[in-house]
Amino acid sequence: MAAHEEEVLGKAYDSRLMRRLLSYLWPYKWQALTALGAIITNSALQLAPPYLTKLAIDEHIAVGRLEGLGTIAALFLGALAGSFVMDYLQTWLMQMTGQRIMFDLRMQIYGRLQQLDLRFYDRNPVGRLMTRVTSDVDVLNDLFTAGVVAIFGDIFTLLGIMVVLVVMDWRLALVTFAVLPLIALVTQWFRRNVRDSYRTVRMWIARINAFLQENITGMTTVQLFRREAMNYGRFDDINAKHRAANIDSIFYYAVFYPAIEIIGALAAALIIWYGGLRVMEGVVTLGALVAFLQYSARFFRPISDMSEKFNVLQSAMASSERIFTLIDEPVAVQDPDAPAHRDPRQAPHVRFEHVWFAYVGEDYVLKDVSFEVLPGERIGIVGATGSGKTTLINLLMRFYNVSRGRILIDGVDIRELALEDVRAMCALVLQDVHLFSGTIGDNIRLGEPLSEEAVQRAAVAVGADRFISALPLGYKSPLGERGSSLSVGQKQLLSFARALAFDRPVLVLDEATSSVDTETELLIRQALEVLMRGRTTLAIAHRLSTIQDMDRILVLHKGVLRESGTHQELLAERGIYYKLYQLQFQERGAEVARRE
């Protein structure tokens, strides 16, 4: 399951990943640079208030002079207003850039998903792919909006304060900076321990989730075997370990924040003591002392902030690793460098030559299959479940590449043709009709610019118009989730209308008639007649009755093409087809007997 993969925590900082992430920032370099400028300006402006306080005390209060105080107030107001503007500018630019990068990343991921072959989809459940498109990208947004940028701001604030302090009085500044090694020490200690305990907590929460998931899914088994008490005990055990790990990590936080404050107070105490002495000596003004105190209070806030950013960085690295793995996934089925083109409206001559195929490893589901389909021919494909029927279609549509052998279309290897031309030749109808959210009309025309008339003509021809027109909104009726408002038969008719509207020379039916009731079946059979008219047809059928009239029937058995011929010829052969036919005849008989 994906959960384990999602829990893996990598390094907090990986320069290779970081460089690649920053490349997404490149198109927005001007916005980013402007934002950086705003951040620096803002840091500088925020240095003003303590300094203005110093001026007010030294130049006005100490000497009892009121005039000029207005200038200081005006400057103060100016700094506030400037800081407001810069802050707004910075937030706006950086957050919008973050949004645009997310947009770009999502489009890139989604674009890659549209290219990857079905083998990839076999390996990766849709839920996992969804996580890549949604939450993994969201995590990266935090990096751009909260993480990287804020760290820059913090660094500039720190540097700015240090410069101002040194300029005001370098001796007092040095005394104040004496606490810096302590800060470094405490932060180091905190970071090291928190990282470890964060890992432990994550590990236990992953265990809790896995255990819960498994026990909820298998709850019936738990109950049947009266394991409630024992499994509760095991859950309690994991739960308690998770609690212990968390309480451990509280300790580090509980020590860290007060410790930083105490160090801050130590700096204040040093300023009061040493600064006070300097004031007594008349070297430092009272205003400067007050300003020193105010600056030092601002000095420690960014430091405790920075350790919080650490977590953002860590999860961003893990997410970007997963996203890049997907983006880098090689596309196995794609256009050749110089694709051959053929007119997809032309009926093809299809030839399978010694085709072998395995979904996994050497586990072949098709073994040395060869056959030919002439333009306009109607071919039925039969065989038991797992005999490889659907695989034949998957290969013809080039959803997968053949493992061995080749498929020729008008004498050209399918792998040398443009993918688009191959697929645009066939109209595919599946047993499970896939409907999209949107109206009924949208589901017939999909993304093609077909007129209302063309859509309706197709629906009329397959007999779907009757139920569609009966709906209050007709072709504009919205479909519920996956067409939940329609019956199975109606959905099937809709997919027929879709196939007809696309008007392609080859019709491919994958068990398209197997799951409907008898009345709908009649409708569908009539629709099929319309669909097949003038088209090359390849139909997989479970019910032999639907393919009896085909020009040729191919019988697949355990991945091997065993028989081929017309209904009558195959019956006369008394082989597999004959047995299948008898079996179905029996089944139908039993069914009829039961219904009566």
Partner 1 sequence: MVRADRSAGPWRRLWPYVRRYRQSFSLGFLSIVTGTAVQLTSPWVLKLAVDDLTLGVTRTKLLYYAGLTLAIACVGGFFRFLTRRVIVGISRHIEYDLRNDFFGHLQRFPMGYFQATRTGDLMSRATNDLNAVRMMVGPSIMYSASTVLTFIVAILAMLSLDAWLTLVALAPLPLVSISVKVFGSAIHRRFERIQAQLSDISAIAQEALSGVRVVRAYGQEPEELERFRRANQEYVDRNRGLIRLQGVFYPSMTLFLGLGALLVLWQGSIEVIEGRITVGDLVAFNAYLVMLAWPMIAFGWVTNMLQRGLASWKRMLEVLDEQPAFGDASTAHTTPPAAPPAGMKGRIEFRDLTFAYNGRPVLEGISVAIEPGQTVALVGPTGSGKSTLISFLPRLNDPPPGTVFLDGVDIRTLPLASLRAAIGFVPQEAFLFSDTLADNVSFAPEVASLDGPAREAAVRESAAVARLDKDVADFPKGYETMVGERGITLSGGQKQRTALARAIAMNPRVLVLDDALSAVDTYTEEEILSRLRGVMRERTSIIVSHRISTVREADLILVLDDGRIVERGTHDTLVAEDGAYAELHRQQLLEEALAES
- CB of 436 vs partner 1, minimal distance in Å: 6
Segment near partner 1 (CB under 8 A); pick from 257-265, 365-373, 403-411, 456-464: 257-265
**Cα–Cα separations (whole angstroms), residue 116 to 124, 327, 574:** 11, 10, 44
Segment near partner 1 (CB under 8 A); pick from 9-17, 94-102, 160-168, 523-531: 94-102
Q: Which of residues 109-168 bind partner 1 (CB under 8 A)?
A: 110-111, 113-115, 118, 121, 126, 129-130, 133-134
Q: Are strands 378-382 and 536-540 parallel, antiparallel or unpaired?
A: parallel
Query: Which of 139, 358, 502, 565 is the binder for partner 1 (CB under 8 A)?
Result: 502
- Rounded distance, CA 545 to CA 564, Å? 17
Segment near partner 1 (CB under 8 A); pick from 100-108, 153-161, 186-194, 305-313: 100-108
Query: Which of 184, 219, 332, 473 is the binder for partner 1 (CB under 8 A)?
Result: 219
- Rounded distance, CA 141 to CA 147, Å? 9
- CB of 102 vs partner 1, minimal distance in Å: 8
Q: Is 91 in the site for partner 1 (CB under 8 A)?
A: yes
Nearer to partner 1, 17 or 422 (CB): 422
Tokens matching residue 393: 């279609």
- Rounded distance, CA 475 to CA 466, Å? 11
DSSP reduced 3-state for 510: strand
Nearer to partner 1, 2 or 184 (CB): 2
Segment near partner 1 (CB under 8 A); pick from 16-24, 29-37, 428-436, 537-545: 428-436
Q: Is 589 in the site for partner 1 (CB under 8 A)?
A: yes
Amino acid present at 441:
G
Q: For residue 552, list its beta bridge partners.
A: 379
SS3 content of the chain, % helix, strand, coil (to 5): 65, 10, 20
Q: Which of residues 447-476 bind partner 1 (CB under 8 A)?
A: 447
Query: Which of 228, 308, 343, 503 is the binder for partner 1 (CB under 8 A)?
Result: 228
Assign residue 344 a region (left: φ > 0; alpha: ψ between -120 and 50; beta: otherwise).
Answer: alpha
Q: Which of residues 525-584 bind partner 1 (CB under 8 A)?
A: 557, 575-576, 579-580, 582-583
Q: Which of residues 58-77 bind partner 1 (CB under 8 A)?
A: 60-61, 64-66, 69, 72-73, 76-77
Nearer to partner 1, 284 or 379 (CB): 284
- CB of 563 vs partner 1, minimal distance in Å: 10
Question: For partner 1, how many residues bind (rule: CB under 8 A)?
Answer: 139
Residues 6+ apart with CB under 8 A from 68: 59, 60
Q: Per DSSP, which regions of 100-257 are E strands? A: none
- Terminal-to-terminal C-alpha distance of the chain: 48
Rg (CA), the chain: 36
Query: Which of 399, 457, 566, 567 is the binder for partner 1 (CB under 8 A)?
Result: 399
CA 91 remoteness from chain centre: 26
Query: Which of 196, 214, 343, 549 is the binder for partner 1 (CB under 8 A)?
Result: 214
Q: Which of residues 272-291 bind partner 1 (CB under 8 A)?
A: 272-273, 276-277, 279-280, 286, 289-290
Overall size of the chain counted in residues: 596
- CB of 504 vs partner 1, minimal distance in Å: 9
Query: Which of 250, 332, 471, 473 is the binder for partner 1 (CB under 8 A)?
Result: 250
Segment near partner 1 (CB under 8 A); pick from 171-179, 223-231, 353-361, 516-524: 223-231
Cα four-point dihedral sign 541, 545, 548, 549: negative
Query: Which of 38, 40, 52, 395 is the binder for partner 1 (CB under 8 A)?
Result: 52
- Rounded distance, CA 581 to CA 459, Å? 33
Give yes or no for a contact between 178 and 270, defined as CB atoms under 8 angstroms apart.
yes
Identify the CA nearest to 39 among candidates 27, 51, 31.
31
Nearer to partner 1, 18 or 208 (CB): 208
**Cα–Cα separations (whole angstroms), residue 503 to 4, 93, 428:** 47, 49, 11
